[in-house]
């Protein structure tokens, strides 16, 4: 455990502050219709296994039809809100930077302010993730 004393924890914190928004963007961009399609494929295969006389077959057919309609709506109406995502990225980056700068202040109030900024930045990561997700939106970019 002696190697922990040689680590520059301020640099680790700054790197984590820079990586958090980037990872949030990557996760937001990775979500898409692929998961919906794989679930739909599985459901269609399951529907094929049910006999014509099976009681749950009608319910499964209705479910598959509903999923197809959702996928079609997603494909035609889903958009990303890039403007909000860029604003959130800049603000989250600034908040993390300010928080780690405040950790260097030799006063108890610096730590409290820094942790407060980290909590606000974490909420901003959530907002950035929601902006990057491809979901049906209205003309103003708000989720429907």
In a domain, 40, yes or no: yes
| Residues 102-136 pLDDT 10s | 877 788 788 788 888 888 888 888 888 888 777 77
Those residues with Cβ within 8 angstroms of residue 44's Cβ, 6 or more apart along the chain or in another chain? 64
pLDDT in tens, 25-59: 777 666 666 777 888 888 888 888 877 877 788 88
The answer to whether the CB of 124 falls within 8 A of the CB of 91 is yes
144 is a domain residue? no
> Total structural domains in the chain?
1
Range of the domain at 82: 2-136
Per-residue tokens: 82: 């890039």
Q: Is the residue at 141 inside a domain?
A: no
On whether residue 143 sits in a domain, the answer given is no
Residue 37 within a domain:
yes
The whole-number pLDDT of residue 57 equals 80
Is residue 110, in this structure, part of any structural domain at all?
Answer: yes
User: pLDDT digit string (tens) for 76-88?
Assistant: 777 878 888 888 8
Whether pTM > 0.85 for this model: the answer is no
Q: Is 29 part of a structural domain of the chain?
A: yes
User: Alpha-carbon distance 67 to 73, whole Å?
Assistant: 10
141: alpha, beta or left, given left = phi > 0 and alpha = psi -120 to 50?
Answer: left
Alpha-carbon distances, residue 70 vs 3, 33, 143 (angstroms): 53, 10, 15
**Is 70 within the bounds of a domain?**
yes
């Amino acid at each position: 455990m002696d190697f922990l004393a040689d680590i520059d924890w301020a640099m680790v914190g700054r790197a984590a502050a820079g990586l958090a928004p980037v990872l949030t963007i990557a996760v937001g961009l990775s979500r898409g219709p692929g998961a919906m399609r794989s679930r739909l494929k599985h459901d269609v295969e399951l529907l094929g296994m049910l006999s014509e006389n099976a009681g749950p077959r009608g319910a499964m057919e209705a479910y598959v039809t509903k999923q197809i309609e959702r996928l079609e709506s997603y494909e035609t109406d889903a958009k990303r809100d890039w403007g909000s995502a860029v604003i959130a990225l800049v603000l989250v980056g600034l908040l993390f930077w300010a928080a780690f700068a405040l950790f260097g202040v030799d006063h108890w109030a610096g730590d409290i302010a820094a942790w407060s900024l980290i909590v606000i930045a974490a909420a901003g990561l959530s907002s950035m993730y929601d902006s990057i997700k491809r979901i049906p939106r209205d003309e103003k970019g708000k989720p429907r």
